[in-house]
Amino acid sequence: MRRSNVLTRADIKRLKEDRGPSDLTRQIEDLQKQKEYLQSQCRNAGRTILELNAKYEGMIREVDRLSEENSNLKTMMKGANERDSDNNSG
């Protein structure tokens, strides 16, 4: 009797574990891992976006404050220059 055509339990186990890339179960597992990874990356990107938005809004407020301060200083300097010229001419 030829034993080469008979599959042993070890052969069956090896075949189950040695699934090829076209195995649907393996594809599903790979896609689930990919989905979990992408979800994690999206969450990280979302956190980063929120942090950057907060920094951006803070910078906008700072620019507005500095712009107002600059405008006030220009007004004060203009008034001081006018008073100086009035005092020197009169």
**pLDDT tens-digit series, residues 59-89:** 999 999 999 999 999 999 988 887 777 777 6
pTM of the model: 0.56
> In whole numbers, what is the pLDDT of the chain averaged over residues?
87
SS3 (DSSP) at 62: helix
Mean pLDDT of 12-26: 75
Say yes or no to pLDDT of 1 above 50. Answer: no
At residue 60, the pLDDT reads 98
> 6 or 28, which is more confident?
28
The CA–CA distances, whole Å, from 51 to 18, 54, 59, 61 equal: 45, 5, 12, 16
